[in-house]
Amino acid sequence: MASTPDILIVGGGLAGSVTAIHLARRGHSVLVIERGTFPREKVCGEGMMPHGVAELEALGLGDAIRETGPVSFRGIAYHSGETTAIGDFPGGRTGLGLRRHRIDAALHQACADEPGVEVKLDTRVLDLHLGSEAVQIKTSRGVHQARVVIGADGLHSFVRRKAGLAKAPKGPARYGIRAHLHLSNDAPAMPRVEVFVLDDLEVYLTPTATDELNVAVLCGRALAQEFGEDLDVRLMARLSHEPALRPFLDGAEVLTPPAVWGPLRQRTRAVSADRVLLVGDAAGFIDALTGEGMSLSLVGARLAAEVLSTALHEGDLSARRLRTYDRQRARHGRSLSLLTELLVRGIRHRWLARRIVRNLARHPEAFSTLLGINIGERPIWAIPPRDLLQLTVGR
Ligand SMILES: Cc1cc2nc3c(=O)[nH]c(=O)nc-3n(C[C@H](O)[C@H](O)[C@H](O)COP(=O)(O)OP(=O)(O)OC[C@H]3O[C@@H](n4cnc5c(N)ncnc54)[C@H](O)[C@@H]3O)c2cc1C
């Protein structure tokens, strides 16, 4: 590779690796700088929605992903008190439960093998200078220069902050906790992701192998702090007291100890600036409760590469030219963002959450439409306002 690559990507996780592959296939030279090494764990619910799987298939990465041993799920089951609402993805589509330490390593390998891409692991980006002709990046192992920088450095992105694209947080902070369990032989089969809305937290159970599941808990700051340093013991003790969770947890063994990540909500003023683009969680995150973060990152990676490639060919890397990416990303994610915002607000009021689960159980076709919005297949206005009202306030 030339000593000055076209693009420098900060962060070699899922979003960074896939963006690099897209750009290299469009003929650009890419340097990816990742502070960690692979395989590494990542706090995540590990349920990839069908449109995320389709993005990887379209890149020819389907086999690489299947080799990591994922399991399919066909929808979501919500439990609240005695009520269970079951929704399947429209058109018989399926998502994948996958372990991030395996899939991220597979994507990193595919990225490192892609002609035109160089990856530097175990290298931390420390500073960033945005010049009028180039971008200069100081790392723990030296200084690099490129025509443009992409921030793919996750939820608490350094590039986002440094490029002045971060926006002050708003609303109550929520946190995510994740552990893996090896299931007992008596555990029920899991054709869907199971979501339990409890009084002060939500629990997401995603199958990641036939005998293994991911437990992700979403909660407020106070509870995340209360679980505190004794997370393993306190979290598992709390969950095993919930009767609804017992069939899954009884006899299960903890495979990976729980880890906390957050605050989840990260806002941005924009996802591009002069010589800068943000992809993945660095481009902003609302909440993990709709489980679409990986898929949105994969779609965003493709959109960013399309816009940037044209801009590079035209020799115009101004904020004005790159703003097309903001518009395309917003257009793609508008319905989902709105749905996620509505759900995050609704779930604060447990009486409302209980009512919604009851109404979803009564109207499975509306549930399936909601899942269609979640997987980017339908706009939010596919649900007539009357039906939306019935789902939320209907008795
Ligand atoms: C609790 C929880 C549950 C979730 N559940 C789901 C789910 O079920 N389904 C789903 O699709 N999504 C889910 N998500 C969201 C999903 O995990 C993210 O959207 C996705 O991982 C984003 O990928 P990314 O590549 O942007 O970030 P990351 O995977 O975090 O990658 C960022 C990379 O940047 C590197 N980096 C950071 N700073 C630097 C630096 N200064 N120098 C060099 N490298 C750096 C990091 O080491 C890391 O490898 C969940 C998230 C949480 C927190």
Residues 250, 207 share a domain: yes
Residues 157, 281 share a domain: yes
By the 10 Å C-beta count (0-12 exposed, 13-18 middle, 19+ buried), 344 is classed as buried
Residues 24, 125 share a domain: yes
| Average predicted confidence (pLDDT) for the chain | 92
Taking each helix axis from N to C terminus, what angle separates 350-362 and 319-347, rounded to the nearest 10 degrees? 90
Atom of ligand 1 minimally distant from the CA of 176: 1
| Total of domains in the chain | 2
Low-confidence ranges of the chain (pLDDT < 50): 1-2
Domain span at residue 50 reads: 7-74+95-169+265-337
- Which pLDDT does position 2 carry in this prediction? 45
* Residues 6 or more apart whose Cβ sits within 8 Å of residue 316: none
Question: Is 217 a member of any domain?
Answer: yes
Residues 154, 38 share a domain: yes
* Residues 6 or more apart whose Cβ sits within 8 Å of residue 207: 71, 73, 97, 190, 193, 213, 214
- Which pLDDT does position 237 carry in this prediction? 85
Q: What is the CATH number of the domain that holds 154?
A: 3.50.50.60
Ligand 1 lined by 43 (C-beta under 6 Å): yes
Question: Is 86 a member of any domain?
Answer: no
Write out pLDDT tens, residues 108-158.
999 999 999 999 999 999 999 999 999 999 999 999 999 999 999 999 999
Residues 180, 165 share a domain: no
Residues 116, 148 share a domain: yes
Q: What is the CATH number of the domain that holds 203?
A: 3.30.9.100
Residue 218's closest CA among 267, 287, 284? 287
Write out pLDDT tens, residues 238-271.
898 888 899 999 999 999 988 999 999 999 999 9
The alpha carbon of 16 and the centre of ligand 1 are apart by a number of angstroms equal to 10
Q: Answer yes or no: are the C-beta atoms of 147 and 135 closer than 8 Å.
A: yes
Residues 124, 99 share a domain: yes
Q: Which among 103, 144, 281 is the best mutation to test ligand 1's pocket, defined by most ligand atoms within 8 Å of the CB? A: 281
Q: Which among 44, 231, 299 is the best mutation to test ligand 1's pocket, defined by most ligand atoms within 8 Å of the CB? A: 44
Q: Whose CA is nearest to atom 41 of ligand 1?
A: 125
Residues 160, 62 share a domain: yes
Residues 280, 324 share a domain: yes
Residues 164, 186 share a domain: no
Question: Is 130 a member of any domain?
Answer: yes
Question: Is 242 a member of any domain?
Answer: yes
State which of 201, 227, 261 marks the end of a domain: 261
The alpha carbon of 241 and the centre of ligand 1 are apart by a number of angstroms equal to 30
